[in-house]
Structure 1
Amino acid sequence: MITAIIVDDERINIDNLQALLVRHCEDIEVVATAISADEAKEQILELEPDVVFLDIDMPGKNGFDLLRSIEDPSFDVVFVTAYDDYGIMAVKFSALDYLLKPINIAELKITVSRIAQSVIAKRHNLRLNNLLKLLDRTLPDEQQKIALPSLKETYLVPVRDIVRCSSSNNYTTFFLINGTEHLISKPLYEYDELLSPYGFIRCHQSHLVNKAHVTSILNEDSGYLVMDYGGQKVPISKQKKSSIKTLLKL
């Protein structure tokens, strides 16, 4: 899913574009809207969208002012304007996407297709960069990331943010510290091998936990590990209970 922010000083224009995206471009999710450059900057820095649909002509700070205020922007930009003036000429020379108001649906679909290709390329580059850093051992353990490929996209997740992993047949669900869950079509044993050097413990045939997020052991049944995220309880197999206590120094 491609994440987007719409920036326009007129709410009716925001609502119109958002409705067109919902109706005709299912791969884009509008995560925020803004009616000024200052509000947009806050949203962009917080949410880190893949693309910003940006009105050029806004009172106070215009769209170009917004871009100048953000250091090293990594998102794609689609300029949206009612005027085919000098600003759009600069956009054309820079080979950036733009849409003229009123928005033509066919042009919108073409633009979104270009955005999707750009986002995929960037994500592939991120994955390659992650590979090179791992090979060069340039990242300390606490900054290592793991790629989690789902059906629609690949997520690069900091290892330290993984609370636990749970398996069902050949699928593994990752539970992150922010409450996000990712279902990955790979068996748990593959991630056991990858993550054990980073303090992960296979406490059960179907469960792998990050010992940094374990708060205690419950002595009910064969035992449970209590995680610091929401007090989740993860079962311990009888065969592993003694070794788990040793690993956790409990």
Structure 2
Amino acid sequence: MRVVIIDDHQEIRSTIRSIIEGSEYPILIEGEAGSVVEGLKLIKSVEPDLIFLDVEMPDGTGFDLLSLLDHENFKVIFVTSHDEFAIKAFRFSAIDYVLKPIDSEELVEAIDKAQKLHSPATHISTLLNNQKRQENKLVLSDQKTTYLVETSEVIRCEADGNYTSFYLTENRRIIVSKTIKNYENLLIDHGFFRTHQSHLINLAFFDRYDRTEGGIIYMKNGDPIPLAIRKKESLMTTLNSFMK
């Protein structure tokens, strides 16, 4: 695997290089760059398989650099400070990242995930589009296929251990190997509500709340969803603000 490291801090580049060289991965570091302009030249000349890419650099961002490239032939691991906006964008697009200061175990884990990533071009394109359109698309992958899904297509999510089932419009269902907690944090600002330990619903598809059956929510497609007693007051408050 051919790798390039693009970060404006020499110490960060050196740390990444040291961790990679001390790992068991068959990785060849083809070069380093400290800016968007230098990084663009390096990527075009090397055509790497994997890019470690800083988010903020003096002459632009990692997003700026990616927007100038064809995304078909490489994968990306972002390197960032604790920037909630950027991290949320990465998670929507299912692109991995490591936080500064660099932790060796996290970096190795990110490399492992990147090697297993399907359809990297889809993930990168989604990231760039979400930057422009306020993160309204999710990348979801099951064992065989990677899907690009509008958040407005998601009716509800249901947990099953470490897996989450996405129930979509047109009777579609996608099962992904991530916990529902991962998606609650992403979708809560997009009109979603956690009704129960195992359920997350899109309030745009909320139909009614039936008190006579012990507290059951019915979605517009007819699906019954349990509402935890402790969530009732919060749901009513959220619905009132959602309908305004």
Task: Provide TM-score, normalisation by structure 1.
Answer: 0.47
Q: Which structure is larger by alpha-carbon Rg, 1 or 2?
A: 1
